[in-house]
Structure 1
Amino acid sequence: MKPVSFRNADMAWDIAALILTPPGFDENKTWPTIIAVHPFGSCKEQTSSAVYGKALAEQGFVVIAFDASYQGESGGAPRWIESPAQRVEDISHVIDYAVTLPYVDADRIGGIGICGGGGYILNAALTEKRIKAVVGITPVNIGRLFREGFSNFDPRGALDAMAAQRTAEARGGEGQVNELLPPCPEVARANGLTERDVFEATDYYKTPRGQQPGGATRMLFSHAQKTLAWDAFNFAETLMTQPMMVVIGQKVGAFGAYRDGLEIHGRATASKDRQLVSLEDWSHYDLYDKDEPVELALDRVVPFLKDHLA
């Protein structure tokens, strides 16, 4: 695993990434390459590299897992902005970097994303045709989630509050940085925050199971307005032409990955090969790092990617 950072001509800051290479890697050969996109509130050291990136590298792929702009070790200010447009543009920037590497086969680039990263990589594939095959692992449409649960089903009220807060900050006030999760599972349980996705996210992000310095689980509230008007799956019926696989768990939680996975699979009618993997006994966060559901997912993901990127 090699840490790198890079800046393209049209970027104002560096992107930090990890490059994972296969056993017997020879940089004088060219390799199929996967761009791995981390979840909302996550970082490259978590599931995108440590679980799926590692497994795909072991199966013969070069994997580039990166931190989103404004997050982790990547640049961008102010910090902790969750910008869907920027997250999708980051993917193209990473591909721009990848195609300069002599060992990356520019005609065999795929993408994989987890949770919000799944929504982002699927959205990127709509217009970024250098992505030849795409996989969403328990993908979440962040725009839909912000319009619903993250705004208490009052998106217009949330937009008014964001507008007021941004004005206050422009006039010198302090930024409002929202912590998205309880500090630990015990506090979540004590406060009745036991809904499956909320509690399991806390168990992943706030314990040694998945906790990493770059996985901040924070969001700058005043800069989230445009997220509420964003849709990961807009124009999917027409523009999702690449082979596409979606993996979801049937244990449903409030963040909505099950319904989002079904939606994009149903809408991507122009895809050359659309596949849905629905795992009966597993939840959204089980698919982050639990051995059995991850293995079940990879049993389908690896052959799919090999078929289309071999």
Structure 2
Amino acid sequence: MKSVHIQNPDMTWHIAANILFPPGFDEAQKYPTIVSVHPFGSCKEQTSGKVYGKALAEQGFVIIVYDASFQGESGGSPRWIEDPTQRVEDVSRVIDYAVTLPYVDEHRIGVLGVCGGGGYAINATLTEKRIKAVVSITGVNIGRLFREGFSNYDPLGALDAMAAQRTAEARGGELQVNELLPASPEVARENKLTERDVFEATDYYKTPRGQKPGGATRMLFSHAQKTLAWDAFAFAETLLTQPVMVVVGQKVGAFGAYRDGMEIHGRATASKDRQLVELEDCSHYDLYDKTEPVGMALEKLVPFFRKHLNGPVAARQAEAAE
């Protein structure tokens, strides 16, 4: 693994990333490369890197997993901004960096995203045609989620509150950084916050199971307005032409990954190869790090990426990995 700071000419901050290399890596060769996008409230050291990034590198791919701008080890101020437009632009900026690396085959770049990262990965693929294949793991359309559960089904009220808070901060008031999850599973139980996705998110992010310093599950409230007007799947029927795989668990939770997965699979009619993988008896957070669900997802997505990021070098490396 190599840690890097990506600095594009049009950015005043850096993007922190880890590059994961396949076994027997040779810098003189060209490799299929996958950009791995972390969930909302997460970081590169969690599921996008530690689980899926690591597994795909072991299968012969170069993986670039990074922290979103304003989050984790990446730069940008103020902190904890969750801006979908910026999150999607980050994907292109990471690809800008990737194509400068001598061992990255610019014609064999894919993207994978988990949870909110899945929605961002799909949205990036609509217009970023350097992406040749995309996989969404329990992907969520964060705009839809903000308009619904994250705003208590009152998006206009949330926008009014954000406007008032932003004005207060512009006048020197204290920033409002919202913590999105209970402090622990025990606190969640005490407060009867036991809905499947909320409780399982707490069990992942607030325990040693998945807890990392960069995965702070925080959001700057005043800068989230544009999220409510954003749609990860807008124009998918026309613009999503690349191969797409959507992986969802059949255990439904409040964050809505199952319904979002069904929606984008149904709308991706222009895709060259659209695949839906439904995993029985799996929940949203099972697909973050649980051995059996992750294994079932990898059984489908590894051949998918090999097929669509293929070439003579990739084929030889795939054989060597096996």
- Counterpart of 2:59 in structure 1 is 59
Instruction: Write the letter of the residue equivalent to 2:115.
Output: C
Match of residue 71 from structure 1: 71
Q: TM-score under structure 1 normalisation?
A: 1.00
Partner of 1:208: 208
Which residue of structure 2 lines up, in the alignment, with residue 45 of structure 1?
Answer: 45
Q: Name the CA distance, whole Å, in 1 between partners of 2:3 and 2:184.
A: 30
Q: Secondary structure at the match of 2:281?
A: strand
SS at match of 1:272: coil
Q: Does 1:25 align with 2:25?
A: yes
- Measured after TM superposition, the shift of residue 65 of structure 1 is 0.2
SS of the counterpart of 1:77? coil
Establish whether residue 174 from structure 1 lines up as the match of residue 174 from structure 2: yes
Q: Does 1:90 align with 2:129?
A: no
For the pair 1:237 / 2:237, whether they are aligned, the reply is yes
Equivalent position of 2:2 in the other structure: 2
**Are 1:109 and 2:109 an aligned pair?**
yes
Q: CA deviation at 1:215?
A: 0.2
Displacement after TM superposition at 1:10 (Å): 1.3
Residue 155 (structure 2) pairs with residue 155 (structure 1)? yes
Q: CA deviation at 1:9?
A: 1.0
Give 1:11 deviation, angstroms: 1.3
- How many angstroms does 1:129 deviate by? 0.3
Amino acid at match of 2:174: E
Report SS of the residue matched to 2:160.
Answer: helix
CA distance in 1, matches of 2:63, 2:216: 23
Show structure 2 runs of 5+ residues with no match. Answer: 311-322
- Percent of aligned positions that are identical: 80
Paired position in structure 1 for 2:36: 36
Q: Which amino acid aligns with 1:69?
A: S
| Separation in 2, partners of 1:76, 1:229 | 23
1:163-195 superposed Cα distances (whole Å, 9 cap, x missing partner): 000000000100100000000000001110000
Q: Secondary structure at the match of 1:283?
A: coil
Deviations for 1:113-143, whole angstroms, at most 9, x for unmatched residues? 0000000000000000000000000000000
CA–CA separation in structure 1 for the residues paired with 2:201 and 2:295: 20
Letter in 2 for 1:241: T
Distance 2:8 2:221 in 1: 28
Displacement, 1:223? 0.2
> Which secondary structure state, in structure 2, belongs to the residue aligned with residue 86 of structure 1?
helix
Structure 2 distance, partners of 1:174, 1:297, is 43
| Separation (CA, whole Å) in 2 of partners of 1:88 and 1:219 | 17
In structure 2, how many angstroms separate the alpha carbons of the residues matched to 1:117 and 1:12? 23
Q: Which amino acid aligns with 2:14?
A: D
Aligned residue for 2:107, secondary structure, equals strand
Shift, 1:12, TM fit? 1.5
Give the letter for the 1:200 counterpart.
E
Normalised to the residue count of structure 2, the TM-score between the two structures is 0.96
What are the superposed Cα offsets for residues 222-277 of structure 1, whole Å, 9 maximum, x if unpaired? 00000000000000000000000000000000000000000000000000000000
Instruction: Report the residue type matching 1:232 in the other structure.
Output: A
2:271 maps to 271
3-state SS of paired residue (1:264) = helix
User: In 1, Cα distance between the equivalents of 2:260 and 2:268?
Assistant: 12
Cα distance, 1:34 vs structure 2: 0.2
2:297 maps to: 297
One-letter amino acid of the structure 2 residue matched with residue 72 of structure 1 = G
CA RMSD after TM alignment: 0.3
Q: Please identify, of 150-159 and 6-15, the stretch whose mean Cα deviation from structure 2 is larger.
A: 6-15
Give every structure 1 segment of 4 or more consecutive aligned residues whose post-TM-superposition deviation is greater than 3 Å: none
CA apart distance, 1:6: 1.5
Cα offset for 1:206?
A: 0.2
Number of residues paired by the alignment? 310
Matches of 1:221 and 1:15 in 2, distance apart?
22
Q: Aligned-pair distance for 1:213?
A: 0.2
